[in-house]
Structure 1
Amino acid sequence: MMARMAVEETQTTTQSPPRTADPRNAAEPPTTRAWTTRLVIVGIVLAALNLRPAITSLGALLEEVRDGLGMSGSVAGVLTSVPPLCFAVFGVMAPRLARRFGPAAVVCAGMAAITAGLAIRPLMGGTPGFLAASALALMGIAVSNVLMPVIVKRWFPDRIGTMTGLYSMALALGTSLAAAITVPMTSAFGGDWQIGLGVWALLAAAAVLPWLPVARERRRTAGASAGASTGTPVGASVGAETATEASAESTSDSAAAAAAGDGLRITRSRTAWALAVFFGLQATGAYITMGWMPQIFRDAGVPASTAGVLLAVTMAMGVPLAFVIPRVAGRLRNQGPIAVALGLCGLIGYAGLFFAPAAGAWVWAVLLGVSNCSFPLALTMVGMRAGTGAGVAKLSAFAQSTGYLLSIPGPLLVGVLYQHSGGWGLPIALMSGLLVPQLVVGVLAGRDRTVEQELADRERAAAARA
Structure 2
Amino acid sequence: MTTTSAEPRTAVKIRPLAVVGLVLVAINLRPAVTSLGPVLAEVRASLGMSAAVAGLLTSVPAVCFAVVGSTAPLLARRWGTGGVIALGTTALALGLAVRPFAGGTGSFLALTALALAGIALANVLLPVVVKQRFPDRVGAMTGLYSVALNLGASTAAAVTVPLTAGVFGGDWRLGLGVWAVIAAAALPAWILLARDRTPSRTAPSRIAPVAEGGAVLQLRREPIAWALAVYFGLQSTAAYVIMGWLPQIFRDAGLSARTAGLLFAVTALLGVPLSFALSALAGRLPRQSGVAVLIGLFGVAGYVGLWADPAAAPWLWVVLLGVANCSFPLVLTMIALRGRDAATVSRLSAFAQSTGYLLSVPGPIVVGVLYDHTGSWRIPLALLALLMVPQMVAGVLAGRDRQIG
Q: TM-score, normalised to structure 1's length?
A: 0.85
Which residue of structure 1 aligns with residue 144 of structure 2? 166
- Look up the match of 1:58: 36
Residue 103 in structure 1 maps to residue 81 in structure 2: yes
Number of aligned pairs? 403
Q: Unpaired segments of 5 or more residues in structure 2?
A: none
Name the residue aligned to 2:62. 84
Q: Does the 8 A contact of 2:29 with 2:123 survive in 1?
A: yes
AA aligned to 1:252 is I
1:123 is displaced (CA, Å) by 1.0
Render the CA deviation track for 1:91-123: whole Å, top value 9, x for unaligned: 000000000000000001111110000000011
- 1:316: Cα distance to partner? 0.6
Displacement over 4 Å in runs of 4+: none
| Secondary structure, aligned partner of 1:282 | helix
Q: Answer whether contact 2:83 2:190 (CA < 8 A) is retained.
A: yes
State the secondary structure of the residue aligned to 2:344.
Answer: helix
Instruction: Select 1:182's aligned residue among 154, 160, 184.
Output: 160
Q: Give the residue type in structure 2 aligned to 1:428.
A: L
For 1:198, the equivalent position in structure 2 comes to 177
What is the aligned partner in structure 2 of residue 236 from structure 1?
none
Match of 1:348 in 2: 301
Give the gaps of 5 or more residues in structure 1. Answer: 1-14, 19-24, 223-241, 453-466
Q: Does 1:427 align with 2:380?
A: yes
Q: What do the CA deviations read for 1:2-33 (whole angstroms, capped 9, x no partner)? A: xxxxxxxxxxxxx3241xxxxxx34x351x32
- Distance (whole Å) between structure 2 residues aligned to residue 205 and residue 165 of structure 1: 23
Identity of aligned residues (%): 59
**1:337 matches 2:323:** no
Which residue, 326, 337, 345 being the options, matches 1:384? 337
The one-letter amino acid of 2:267's match is T
The separation in 2 between residues aligned to 1:262 and 1:114, in whole angstroms, is 36
The aligned amino acid for 1:107 is: I
CA-to-aligned-CA distance 1:136-179 (integer Å, 9 cap, x gap): 10000001000000000011111000000001110011000000
Question: Deviation of residue 372 (structure 1)?
Answer: 0.7
Q: Tell whether the 8 Å contact from 1:78 to 1:412 is kept in structure 2 after alignment.
A: yes
In the aligned structure 1, how far is the partner of 2:211 from the partner of 2:305? 50
- Asked if 2 retains the 8 angstrom alpha-carbon contact of 1:262 and 1:390, the reply is no
Q: Give runs of aligned pairs for residues 113-152 of structure 1, distance below 5 A.
A: 113-152=91-130
Which entry has the higher C-alpha Rg, 1 or 2? 1
Instruction: For 2:73 and 2:123, locate their aligned partners in 1 and report how far apart those are by CA, in whole Å.
Output: 11
Q: In the aligned structure 2, how far is the partner of 1:434 from the partner of 1:38?
A: 40
Q: Identify the structure with bigger relative contact order (alpha carbons < 8 Å, sequence gap 6+).
A: 2
Give the C-alpha shift of residue 75 in structure 1: 0.7
After superposition, residues 10-21 of structure 1 pair within 5 angstroms as: 15-18=1-4
2:211 matched to which residue of 1?
259
1:213 to 169, 184, 192: 192
Q: 2:246 aligns with which of 293, 316, 324?
A: 293
Partners of 2:23 and 2:144 within 8 A in 1:
yes
CA contact (8 A) 2:34 2:153 kept: yes
Distance 1:33 1:279 in 2: 32
